[in-house]
Structure 1
Amino acid sequence: MKNQIVVIFALVTLFSISCDNQVKQQSSSSETNAIFPKGELGPAENFTGKAWAYSLVPNDTVYNTLMGNVYFEPGARSNWHIHPAGQMLVITDGVGYHQIKGQPRQTIKKGDVVKCPPNVMHWHGASPNTGLQQMYIIPNTEKGIVKWLHAVSDEEYAKAN
């Protein structure tokens, strides 16, 4: 009986270690945990790599606000762009970058909130090894939504400042 208890204890311990290793492997993955559907693939003329957008609040004349989710695959990023009334980002998972023209690139991660001022050129996207989930909020859409500009170069993307 004592030997059976020892064997059962050993099996439970091995199972527990195996489960713990699987959880650690999953958490170090380049994928992020999505809370919204992936959505539609963003157009290649506005993104380097793959970025998927899902609308949460469509624009209307009552709220004059757009809200949605974007998933950037590892290494993916937006072009430089401008929002006439600004933009707010809520990072819900992963690791990425955000940069306002003329300022150092910032690393952003789950729990961060980023404010992109009105009429200021900026870009955002995932880090090279980890995807990024972000909710975006574009207020005062009666002023315009977005003006897409040129691609972020590989040098700009990689420059940590």
Structure 2
Amino acid sequence: MPGSPENFTGEVSIQSQYAGDENSERASDVRFSAGARTAWHTHPDGQRLLITKGTGWVQEWGKKRITVHKGDVVWFAPGVKHWHGATKDSAMAHIAITYAVDGVTADWLEHVTDDQYLGGKRVQGA
């Protein structure tokens, strides 16, 4: 299924791997074309990414962007504002494991601007 333009920039496909009840973990295979990325978002009980293909970028609010590669594992703690996606020149895929709280796995926020995406600098603000 294609990623919603409300939550993603660029070409993204999402395939659910499994989903438990409203308070358990869920996993999805997420594939990003070069230049594609999530919007800023948080997870009420955290998220783990298992990078399965290509090269991508991940960034937590207030920190520098990090480059990730196949085989890397990334953890976002509960409530930490972040984004993730492919680099501008490489596709990237990951298994996203999220943990639901009362059926909610993510709180979606504003889109990552092109300057934020390409800049790789520490992001400041609220």
- On whether the aligned pair clears a TM of 0.5, the verdict is yes
1:98 matched residue in structure 2: 58
2:63 partner SS: coil
Task: Identify which of structures 1 and 2 has the higher relative contact order when contacts are C-alpha pairs closer than 8 Å and 6+ apart.
Answer: 2
For residues 83 and 71 of structure 2, the distance between their equivalents in structure 1, rounded to whole angstroms, comes to: 19
1:58 matched residue in structure 2: 19
Determine which of 78, 95, 100 is the counterpart of 1:135: 95
For residues 135 and 105 of structure 1, the distance between their equivalents in structure 2, rounded to whole angstroms, comes to: 20
After superposition, residues 1-161 of structure 1 pair within 5 angstroms as: 40-60=1-21, 64-139=24-99, 141-143=100-102, 144-161=104-121
Paired AA for residue 89 in structure 1: L
Report deviation, 1:60.
Answer: 1.7
Paired AA for residue 85 in structure 1: D
For these two proteins, the number of residue pairs brought into alignment is 120
User: Over aligned residues, Cα RMSD in angstroms?
Assistant: 1.2
For residues 153 and 80 of structure 1, the distance between their equivalents in structure 2, rounded to whole angstroms, comes to: 10
- More strand per residue: 1 or 2? 2
For residues 142 and 158 of structure 1, the distance between their equivalents in structure 2, rounded to whole angstroms, comes to: 33
2:101 partner SS: helix
Report deviation, 1:59.
Answer: 2.9
Report deviation, 1:142.
Answer: 2.5
Aligned residues with identical type, % of pairs: 38
Report deviation, 1:74.
Answer: 0.4
Which structure 2 segments of 5+ residues have no match? 122-126
